[in-house]
């Protein structure tokens, strides 16, 4: 049984069957700690820690990885495996060869199953998955609940020196250009139009979308793009506290759909699910936009892309139209 089919065959308990999507789709993208452990044992899956913290956080992802990790994990530095940007933006999608070189260093071949986690539960792991899927490495999933859920369920961690994997070959992959939107494409999406061609879903907190709260970087203007809709990333997640470990996981697909309806209305939500209304996800810097991207993927949404620069890149350009309020 193929990797994708193996997880597509699973069923969320208590799911609601809704038009034109199945909760089976979620399991092409998410695994539990037990499933992740089984994949490592049976298929030689490689585990990557893609933890990322906000720039103003005192925490350091690389140092925390050095001190504790899932056994045999490698550290996937999202800011390092990236493209340079004219505005100095971080964690932009890397060039194909940079991605391939990182995979070679990790001991990952195109046939290797990959499991990505973070220390939050679900925060930066979807961005890691988005990177792999953008280069058509479809044997990739996230560990839903991350390291804290792994520990909460009694699985072992590693505190010794991290493993140095044996390098393998990874040919330069094909880049899925449809997965990413540029600044020019974002402008073209709404300029001179009453209704944008693609609906922009903004994953930032709604207060920032409204322009009521300032951006984390003081030089960045507050507000949102014309025609965009607020869909805060946290609406797709649930908080958990298990055995003293706190972490986030994705909501079941029926609850994700409810959150989508709450943001865009039932008619547009169904059009998105049916593939009749293409969407672009955006956020502050391209990180939490991937949480919304992955949530929609779990509903079976295929016509979806991500604005890599997101609000920071957009608002840094003085000529960009900015809207405040509803």
Q: Which residues are known to be catalytic?
A: 283
Which ranges of 158-265 would DSSP assign to H, the alpha helix?
183-190, 206-210, 253-264
Closest CA to 281 of 304, 312, 256, 252: 304
Three-state secondary structure call for residue 60:
coil
| Half-sphere exposure (Cβ direction) of 87: Cα atoms closer than 13 Å | 18
Three-state secondary structure call for residue 263:
helix
Q: Are 249 and 238 in contact (CB under 8 A)?
A: yes
Helix axes 253-264, 289-297, angle to 10 degrees: 120
Beta strands in the chain, from DSSP E residues, in sequence order = 30-31, 46-49, 74-75, 114-117, 140-143, 180-181, 199-202, 229-230, 237-242, 245-250, 279-282, 304-307
């Amino acid at each position: 049984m193929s990797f994708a089919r193996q997880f597509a065959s699973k069923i969320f308990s208590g799911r609601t069957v809704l038009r034109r999507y199945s909760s089976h789709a979620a399991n092409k993208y998410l695994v539990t700690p037990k499933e992740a452990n089984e994949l490592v044992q049976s298929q030689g899956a490689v585990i990557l820690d893609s933890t990322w913290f906000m720039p103003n956080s005192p925490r350091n992802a690389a140092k925390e990885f050095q001190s504790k990790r899932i056994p045999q994990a490698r550290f996937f530095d999202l800011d390092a495996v990236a493209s340079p940007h004219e505005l100095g933006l971080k964690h932009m999608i890397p060039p194909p060869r940079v991605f391939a070189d990182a995979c070679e260093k990790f001991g990952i071949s195109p046939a290797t199953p990959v499991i990505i986690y973070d220390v939050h539960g679900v925060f930066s792991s979807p961005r890691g998955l988005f990177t792999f899927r953008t280069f058509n490495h479809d044997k990739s999933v996230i560990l839903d609940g991350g390291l804290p859920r792994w520990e909460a369920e009694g699985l072992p961690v590693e505190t010794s020196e991290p493993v140095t994997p044996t390098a393998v070959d990874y040919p330069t992959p094909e880049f899925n250009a449809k997965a990413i939107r540029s600044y020019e494409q974002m402008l073209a999406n709404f300029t001179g139009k009453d209704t944008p061609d693609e609906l922009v879903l903004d994953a930032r907190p709604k207060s920032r979308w409204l322009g009521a709260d300032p951006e984390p970087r003081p030089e960045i203007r507050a507000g949102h793009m014309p025609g965009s809709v607020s869909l805060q990333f946290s609406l797709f997640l649930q908080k958990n506290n298990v055995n003293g470990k706190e972490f986030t996981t994705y909501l079941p697909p029926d609850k994700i759909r409810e959150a989508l309806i709450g943001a865009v209305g039932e008619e547009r939500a169904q059009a998105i699910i049916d593939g009749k209304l293409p969407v672009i996800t955006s956020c502050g810097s391209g990180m939490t936009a991937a949480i919304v991207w992955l949530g929609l993927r779990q509903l079976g949404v295929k016509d979806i892309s991500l604005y890599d620069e997101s609000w920071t890149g957009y608002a840094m350009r003085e000529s960009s139209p900015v809207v405040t309020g509803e």
